[in-house]
Amino acid sequence: MPSLVNMEVELAVKGFLIDQEKMAEVVERMTKELKMGLAKDTHPRAVIKCFVTYVQDLPTGKERGKYLALDLGGTNFRVLLVNLVGQSDIQITSKSYDFPSTLMTGTGKALFDFLAECLAEFCKENGLENDNLPLGFTFSFPLQQQGLSKGILVAWTKGFNCEGVVGKNVVQLLQDAIERRGDLKINTVAVLNDTVGTLMSCAFNHPNCRIGLIVGTGSNACYVEKTVNAECFEGYQTSPKPSMVINCEWGAFGDNGVLEFVRTAYDKVVDKVTPNPGKQTFEKCISGMYMGELVRLVVVEMIGKGVMFVGDSSQKIQQRWSFKSSYISDIESDGPGEYRSCNKVLHELGIIGSQEADKEALRFICEAVSSRSAKMCACGLVTIINKMNINEVVIGIDGSVYRYHPKYHDMLHFHMRKLLKPGVKFELVVSEDGSGRGAALVAATAGQSKPKM
């Protein structure tokens, strides 16, 4: 343990330090839940829903043509034009739009009108109004798909709570908004989750990619399952296609209480102040939306006990959600005995004259929270690899936590290696723009897999 870290701090973060035995237990419990989600009989009561995506064709690398993509991923919204010219030549024109926070909890109509307005603006700017291009819609919330272009929203996550959308087909809501405008010809051919986009985007260049993972604002994974095991797919026994991409929706793992043995008192406090208490238990242990708040709660408790930032606290750190998850990446990017990034973070929080011991303690707390995230994520990936029963796999990954945390990749790799059976080879690959390029590839494979007339 770092010598500068106070015993009280070590005690506070103890619950985040999950040992090998507990990780093995997480894998065992998750395996059981995953199987329940796949099976028709147990699906209704399963917490890991294992939704069928209707994506049965992975890219071959030979897909060509122009496609539009919409990406609603939580805190960002983008419209993209993807031109698949060749395997190593993909031309992307994209534009991000400022997403008013009021839309996150307003009406569904307002939300989809905004999406259609941005789409129309983008098409006009790029001279596409009359091209009737196929559109892939990345909608990164739990969807129950009833077809490639029909996805019913099961529940809002990531701070969203728009009325009139849960239980509805989001593709229809988008098409209705486009038609209300009357100035666009667009054909939405596929709706997909960002995990599926990540998998597809990675598979375009890595034929062995079979898992898509997101560790960003939220967390989720999808993987390629044998069609005969996807019992919630109507034609699962007779389908001519051997594979089906399954959207796990693993964020809800633990909503039935099976993760209580790895949750801390801080997790419970965070859960209570979210818009969806009691939901997305696994995600709340892993993703960027919650990690910063977990660190803040520990720090505030330590300040209250007089063991950190004595006489040097600030009002800002007392405010909920004021400790951004990106601060964790910043603080952990400092080398041993260095505090340059840490000082910047403290300055932003209005804490100026802190001692080295305080900075060391803060880093220790950040490391406890981020390493637990990586360990839980490793458990999830190992569960999926074991379920697929394969010896070699590429995992496409996206999301701000994985991309920007300086040690996340290495931690994930290390803990997966420890949990997997000997001889299993895996590669973790950053997916290039899964939500945009991946959406275009789903639209492209959808077009190609239709029977020729």
8 Å CB contact between 49 and 241: no
DSSP alpha helix (H) spans, 166-211:
170-181, 194-203
Does the active-site annotation cover 158?
yes
Distance separating alpha carbons of residues 30 and 262, to the nearest angstrom: 13
Q: Which of 412, 426, 424, 421 is nearest to 379 (CA)?
A: 412
Distance separating alpha carbons of residues 364 and 356, to the nearest angstrom: 12
Distance separating alpha carbons of residues 340 and 337, to the nearest angstrom: 10
Radius of gyration of the chain (CA): 22
Q: What are phi and psi of 385, to 5 degrees?
A: -60, -40
The encoded tokens of residue 137 equal: 């819609």
Considering the candidates 49, 71, 113, 158, report the single residue annotated as catalytic.
158
Question: Angle at Cα 414 formed by Cα 413 and Cα 418, nearest 5°?
Answer: 115
8 Å CB contact between 181 and 116: yes
8 Å CB contact between 343 and 353: no
Distance separating alpha carbons of residues 264 and 392, to the nearest angstrom: 35
Cβ burial of 424 (10 Å; 0-12, 13-18, 19+) is: middle
Distance separating alpha carbons of residues 355 and 310, to the nearest angstrom: 9
Amino acid (one-letter) located at 296: R
CB atoms within 10 A of CB 70: 25
Say how many residues make up the chain. 453
Q: What are phi and psi of 108, to 5 degrees?
A: -65, -40
Does the active-site annotation cover 450?
no
Considering the candidates 49, 71, 113, 194, report the single residue annotated as catalytic.
194
Question: Would you call 19 helix, strand, or coil by DSSP?
Answer: coil
Cβ burial of 450 (10 Å; 0-12, 13-18, 19+) is: exposed
Question: Would you call 425 helix, strand, or coil by DSSP?
Answer: strand
Distance separating alpha carbons of residues 388 and 199, to the nearest angstrom: 15
Distance separating alpha carbons of residues 279 and 33, to the nearest angstrom: 15
Catalytic residue positions? 158, 194
